[in-house]
Structure 1
């Protein structure tokens, strides 16, 4: 019984690799970038945020294996849709003014992202610098009204 279950699980794992979703690891061209307030803000952003919020995603090995690939591609597509620094001023929806608040409230980077991307884990000082830099670069809702 255990052998049959194992064989069935391996067959299923192999079969889902051919499902045509999660294999598109294309990075569209960078068409426009924001005027960063400093190179330090840009470096912190690139380290902690750019994989999902730019067209310069680094696709790790596990992003090529279903079903994990499905989740990774979905997260990158959703991240780019809401906030993409590689299409700044070109993309209709670009919620840069929310970026600092998302980091401040520990909503970004997502906890599920950190175990496989330890470089995205910021010290309290780096986090404070990133928040200040995001506010300086993109503004905030408080300053826009």
Structure 2
């Protein structure tokens, strides 16, 4: 087999593989569940920065770009959103958010938003000043380091009975 034929065969095989992975259903069900309760934001600026840098993965208001329907990229995106919502879902503040107090630290340390997210979403890139402002705002809204204690969301905005319901979700 000549080198050119081998290259053609490899390209054809790769094309067939890409088409076949489109049949895997994971990563294309982009239903956004309803928003049941948003945080009691400490300021419109915190809400604006969170919408820009956090809410695609940490809320039920995900904006699904066209490429989120193309496997295997769709698998990665769906996984990020699933993990983000499981860790902290800012659309479900009527439920206990066990990791909420860590949000400010994740932002101020640069852990969030993740670098691979920033590659496809340059608008989510935060300056140092914006990062500090968002961290302070998240701490004030959700609790945690950088200024908050319990956070504004904990002031009677969820019911302790929700712990039992959460296990069944």
TM-score range normalised by the length of the shorter chain: over 0.9
Give me the whole-angstrom Cα distance separating, in 1, the residues matched to 2:139 and 2:97.
18
Give me the whole-angstrom Cα distance separating, in 2, the residues matched to 1:36 and 1:110.
23
- For structure 1, list consecutive stretches of 5 or more residues without a partner in the other structure: none
Partner of 1:18: 23
Shift of residue 94, structure 1, vs aligned partner: 4.0
- For structure 2, list consecutive stretches of 5 or more residues without a partner in the other structure: 1-5, 151-169
Show structure 1 runs of 4+ deviating over 6 A. Answer: none
Partner of 1:49: 54
- Figure out how many residues of one structure are paired with residues of the other and give that number: 143
Partner of 1:73: 78
CA RMSD of aligned residues (A): 1.3
8 Å contact from structure 1 (residues 81, 94) kept in 2: no
Alignment partner for residue 140 of structure 1, among 135, 139, 144?
144
In the superposition, the TM-score normalised over structure 1's length comes to: 0.94
3-state SS of 1:25 partner: coil
Task: Write out aligned runs for 1:107-126 (5 A).
Answer: 107-126=111-130
| Relative contact order higher in (CA < 8 Å, ≥ 6 apart) | 1
In the superposition, the TM-score normalised over structure 2's length comes to: 0.81
